[in-house]
Structure 1
Amino acid sequence: MWWKNATVYQIYPASFKDSNGDGIGDIPGIHSQLDYIQSLGVDAIWLCPIYDSPQHDMGYDVSNYEAIYPPYGTVEDVEKLIAACHARGLRILMDLVVNHTSDEHAWFQESRSSLSSPKRDWYIWRPPRLDAAGQRRPPNNWRSCFGGSAWAWDEATGEYYLHLFAAQQPDLNWENPATRAAIYAAALEFWLRKGIDGFRVDTANTYSKHTSFPDAPVSNPAHEYQYASPLFCNGPRIHDYLREMAAILKKYNAMTVGELPLTPNPADVLAYVSAQESQLDMVFQFDIVELGTGPDMRYHTTPRNWTLPDLKARVQATQALMDGTTDGWSTAFLENHDQGRSISRWGCETTPSLWSASAKLLCILVTTLSGTLFLYQGQEIGMVNAPLSWDIDTEYKDVESKNYYAFVRASSSSSSSSSALAAAKSALQHLARDHARLPMQWDGTPHAGFTVPDATPWMRAHDNHPDINVKRQTLDAHSVLSFWKKMLSIRKAYPDVFARGVFAHVDPEDERLFMFEKRGEGRRVLVVLNFRDEVQEVRLEGLLGGRYELLVSNNVEIGEGEGMSMHVLQPYEARVYLV
């Protein structure tokens, strides 16, 4: 199983590299940077959706699984990319988006054409219900993940269709065997036959809904539509569907990693990733990346409202499946296309030295955890969130960000509007998906080298790109980029303690230091992380025992193996000892 000691590099195609000067990243642009990707020491790449799409949700609204979004390139471009990856020993994964399609997909166009359409039952349609005044209402009170009702009215046929996300993303009806067969043929086997090595499975636990579609409990009486995720996640037939899909993937020896939101119970996670269950090879657990988000609405929160013990508990939750007592497997990650940048959330951006130290500390944290490691583009050079000064209306592009900001604007009274919008902007600047989608920072030229200087990029490059970029860091042996390469090499050299080791806390309630052990085959490592921007004292003698070596530190002022103070950690200092 190659993926158990692997690092996967995630690519957001629109923002990675533009090869033709139209301001949008593309497949040939990715192809042109394979040497750079390989130099990192990763084993595979994962492409966010590249299928043809009207782009209401950046490609997660697929209009044709067997075609490519024209600004990204062609099917032939993808075939060339697959061949080039394999020639370099890299594997390639695609995003599998099959909870829903675009409303422009031919399947949905036929489904909505009439009540008697042969494909009517390929999507989830329901008649309206009437309120006490006889007014038409949606079939239930579910709130879409992007806000508003999860149901959209279709005037032509007089029914509502379900959309857990945007109204342009109608949910497929997985209860219909014909629908599932069409999904497997178009979205899976078409690409597997071309040599794709696996899939990241989008919203892998939402395909089975409770078909009675009951109202969600009223958790917020002030809102018409309610949080309903427990009613559409982990539904009654989800494991049957995934097992059926896995049987097809097995024929091609394809790997899967499922997105698994709203599944906090380890026993429930194990039901998806147990080798015996034959469903998914691994999943993305959301425990860490949901730290600090709002309980009802993701952005209804304040930045940095977390404690270090909170983070420790969430890290422990992601490691529990790999404690040696189960046959399950999971992942290690801090960033992806749906999250704010990890340094902005848990590190420090205020000064260059603290930015660098905290970037390397977070690198040590995630590379020493068990599971398959996922690295998001730009994370390896320490990219951070867009500044608070950027205007939400003009600079933020994501449908979720725009919908939330519009919701706050519409629902605030005139007297509270200014403060409510300021709070919303602060939360979005901390957590919005837009931050991960800023152009990759290749160099200090206009638009960060993402596209040609006279182009208009689809998103603005970060203002800090002259200081934080690949070209500059490639020339610096002490850069964040150089440190990531070093840590990936170390991780690969010690798979028994890093990728497969058993995680154990050291003082989980300590609010200054995060220390943990990883136990492998006859050896262990001790990881020591100072999450504060001030010097901390620590005594390690009792934890290290008699024989040990300093495997790595992010403190460039000291040489590894000598000159170490056993009792003092500099701000955001991190160390890994091999015992």
Structure 2
Amino acid sequence: MTERPWWQKAVIYQIYPRSFQDSNGDGVGDLGGILQRLDYLAWLGVDAIWISPIYPSPMKDFGYDVADYCDIHPLFGTLEDFDALLAAAHERGLRLILDFVPNHTSSEHPWFEESRTSRDNPKRDWYVWRDPAPDGGPPNNWQSQAGGSAWTFDETSGQYYYHAFLPEQPDLNWRNPDVRAAMCDVLRFWLDRGVDGFRVDVIWHLMKDPEFRDDPPNPEYKPGDPPFRRVQPLHSCDHPDIHEVVSELRRVLEEYPNDRLLIGEIYLPIERLVAYYGVDGLEGAHLPFNFQLIGAAWHAPTLRHMIKEYEAALPFGGWPNWVLGNHDQPRIASRVGRAQARVAAMLLLTLRGTPTLYYGDELGMENVPIPPEREQDPFGKNMPGTGQGRDPERTPMQWDSSPFAGFSTVEPWLPLAPDWQVINVAVQKQEAGSMLRLVHALLQLRRREPCLALGSYRTLAVEGDVLVYARQHERCRHVVALNLEPSPKVVVFGEGDLGGRIALSTHLDREGEGVGAELALRADEGVIIAVTA
């Protein structure tokens, strides 16, 4: 196992820093808070933490509008605090991955403030500026992911600038070699400090059609959809030139030892997603994020086909990865229910590839209803009624039953879940059958058994509407059987006895039970069988 890069056998844990732990009593999480909770993460059994943006920012999009790539926002701490956190993480065997936001800056970044002063400014071409259309309107029909046109008119220079997201997030021009050099130097700044990798925000947006052609209409658009879905983003992102940019970013990481990791955020169909691995997985992102589980219909045949399709599409040398949730998507427990969230955790942590676990999902945290007066997310405010608001999945981590769930000593920046006094780390650590104890057990088993971390994947053809697959690495072989429905099922394995024992059940009560040709699964139950035959 030591011959593989560390990230192939790792489990990544995403931290949304505003919501993880407040250490200074201002109601917002910070670096000092993450430091306080490192022992919990080490106990849980994850291998790396990915921290959403902590850079100086006006916080129009809560850190994804960066005003300085080489410093820390005072809300979160200082560079010295970051260095202390990084050192403490490494002392505990935890890697640290930073969010890198290269597609756009804040409109308050000095680069953009220079760029917009005149058409002749040396920084003008660092951003995407275009003349108005003949009618004086936007240059084309490209739509902002945050609602409305992706173009904003600048009175001073008489041109429009492009922003794939908020007007306060102007897109950088990655066709300018000076921009690319500057952003590569940003990576080196943090790599020199010792970070273990980067999750690259909206990496598929970096290169646009140089001819700025209109995006075609989306024939699947229906009333009530977010406005940006009116068109298919054929020209506004994922231009073929992107792959050379991704290769350039990877080459920067390869200047450093210890297998630094490059993750790409990519919401694309599988056939376009896998292109981001590059040739033989040697030139592109190590892990182009695979979000299929987030949008999948929760049925065994659907998941079986989806996993098979993804595995078949992976290029030679490409390592798979899986994600159940993140800061932009509804929580898994809200999508499939708490009972199935346990089955989903077993699926995530036993599929072939590197899994990413979103903070709080190990507790079964659900989306929290946000009163209108507490709403923070500009996406939700700009597109009311479309379900684009992301506050419900960003609420504070629930640590214990003390006031404010142990997250802070004051009212948090977002409201707590109504059940925080019972759904929290302290309570679930003491409950033998809790979700937290299940995730902890899954992570320990994955760490002990090489086949669950590095083994091959094979779907097993069995009778019964369940998802069953085998993981094997040398002599280590485990079979995973998942019942995705709220009714009991019987799995028939075929000729002969399976010859194994249950290593773990999502109900945490069948360990050691022998398994032969048939397996009775209770409603909403998954099991991992250690095969001994």
Question: Residue in 1 aligned with 2:142?
Answer: 142
Question: Residue in 2 aligned with 1:561?
Answer: 513
Task: Say whether residues 1:279 and 2:284 are aligned partners.
Answer: yes
Instruction: Classify the secondary structure of the residue corresponding to 1:261.
Output: coil
Q: Tell me how far 1:493 sits from its aligned partner.
A: 1.9
Matches within 5 A, 1:287-302: 287-291=292-296
Q: Distance in 1 between matches of 2:477 and 2:286?
A: 26
Instruction: Classify the secondary structure of the residue corresponding to 1:244.
Output: helix
Structure 2 portions without partners, runs of 5+: none
| Greater shift in the superposed pair: 475-484 or 272-281 | 272-281
Question: Residue in 1 aligned with 2:49?
Answer: 45
Conservation of the 8 A alpha-carbon contact between 1:382 and 1:480 = yes
Note the alpha carbon deviations across 1:473-512, whole angstroms, 9 max, x for none: 11223221111111111112223x32333333345997x4
Structure 1 residues 230 and 277: CA distance shift in structure 2, 3 A: farther
Task: Say whether residues 1:549 and 2:501 are aligned partners.
Answer: yes
Q: Tell me how far 1:434 sits from its aligned partner.
A: 2.1
How many residues get paired?
A: 520
Q: Tell me how far 1:227 sits from its aligned partner.
A: 2.4
Task: Say whether residues 1:520 and 2:473 are aligned partners.
Answer: yes
- The percentage of counterpart residues that share the same residue type is 40
Q: Distance in 1 between matches of 2:448 and 2:229?
A: 51
Instruction: Classify the secondary structure of the residue corresponding to 1:54.
Output: coil
Q: Distance in 2 between matches of 1:56 and 1:375?
A: 26
Note the alpha carbon deviations across 1:301-359, whole angstroms, 9 max, x for none: xxxxx64433333333444456xx7211131221111111112112x2xxxxxx3x433
Structure 1 residues 51 and 60: CA distance shift in structure 2, 3 A: same
Task: Say whether residues 1:314 and 2:287 are aligned partners.
Answer: no
Q: Tell me how far 1:153 sits from its aligned partner.
A: 1.0
Question: Residue in 1 aligned with 2:129?
Answer: 125
Q: Distance in 2 between matches of 1:205 and 1:95?
A: 15
Q: Distance in 1 between matches of 2:202 and 2:463?
A: 33
2:397 maps to amino acid = M
Q: Distance in 2 between matches of 1:316 and 1:32?
A: 41
Question: Residue in 2 aligned with 1:414?
Answer: none
Q: Tell me how far 1:370 sits from its aligned partner.
A: 1.2
1:327 maps to amino acid = G
Structure 1 portions without partners, runs of 5+: 293-305, 349-354, 409-423
Instruction: Classify the secondary structure of the residue corresponding to 1:369.
Output: coil
Q: Distance in 1 between matches of 2:275 and 2:477?
A: 25
Note the alpha carbon deviations across 1:137-193, whole angstroms, 9 max, x for none: 1111111112211111111111111111111111100100011111112x2111111
Question: Residue in 2 aligned with 1:381?
Answer: 363
| Greater shift in the superposed pair: 252-261 or 47-56 | 252-261
Note the alpha carbon deviations across 1:364-417, whole angstroms, 9 max, x for none: 111101111211111111111124xx43x2343222222221xx5xxxxxxxxx
Conservation of the 8 A alpha-carbon contact between 2:299 and 2:484 = no
| Greater shift in the superposed pair: 33-42 or 276-285 | 276-285
2:417 maps to amino acid = H
Question: Residue in 1 aligned with 2:62?
Answer: 58
Provide the alpha-carbon RMSD of the alignment. 2.4
2:333 maps to amino acid = I
Q: Tell me how far 1:85 sits from its aligned partner.
A: 1.1
Task: Say whether residues 1:441 and 2:398 are aligned partners.
Answer: yes
Question: Residue in 2 aligned with 1:262?
Answer: 268
Instruction: Classify the secondary structure of the residue corresponding to 1:538.
Output: strand
Q: Distance in 2 between matches of 1:224 and 1:22?
A: 36
Conservation of the 8 A alpha-carbon contact between 2:130 and 2:161 = yes
Q: Distance in 2 between matches of 1:458 and 1:553?
A: 37
Instruction: Classify the secondary structure of the residue corresponding to 1:62.
Output: coil
Q: Distance in 1 between matches of 2:208 and 2:462?
A: 38
Q: Tell me how far 1:27 sits from its aligned partner.
A: 0.5
2:322 maps to amino acid = A
Structure 1 residues 250 and 489: CA distance shift in structure 2, 3 A: same
Q: Distance in 1 between matches of 2:228 and 2:293?
A: 30
Structure 1 residues 243 and 509: CA distance shift in structure 2, 3 A: farther
Task: Say whether residues 1:178 and 2:178 are aligned partners.
Answer: yes
**Aligned counterpart in structure 2 of residue 505 of structure 1, from 456, 459, 467:** 459
Instruction: Classify the secondary structure of the residue corresponding to 1:46.
Output: strand
TM-score relative to the length of structure 2: 0.92
Structure 1 residues 23 and 318: CA distance shift in structure 2, 3 A: farther
Conservation of the 8 A alpha-carbon contact between 1:258 and 1:283 = yes
Q: Tell me how far 1:68 sits from its aligned partner.
A: 1.2
Instruction: Classify the secondary structure of the residue corresponding to 2:112.
Output: helix
Q: Tell me how far 1:279 sits from its aligned partner.
A: 2.3
Question: Residue in 1 aligned with 2:248?
Answer: 244
Task: Say whether residues 1:483 and 2:488 are aligned partners.
Answer: no
Question: Residue in 2 aligned with 1:160?
Answer: 160
Q: Distance in 2 between matches of 1:507 and 1:126?
A: 56
Conservation of the 8 A alpha-carbon contact between 1:141 and 1:226 = no
Structure 1 residues 183 and 509: CA distance shift in structure 2, 3 A: farther
Question: Residue in 1 aligned with 2:8?
Answer: 4
Task: Say whether residues 1:91 and 2:95 are aligned partners.
Answer: yes
Q: Distance in 1 between matches of 2:488 and 2:413?
A: 42
Q: Tell me how far 1:435 sits from its aligned partner.
A: 2.6
Q: Tell me how far 1:126 sits from its aligned partner.
A: 0.2
Conservation of the 8 A alpha-carbon contact between 1:273 and 1:281 = no
Q: Tell me how far 1:527 sits from its aligned partner.
A: 1.4
Instruction: Classify the secondary structure of the residue corresponding to 1:130.
Output: coil
2:176 maps to amino acid = N
1:338 maps to amino acid = D
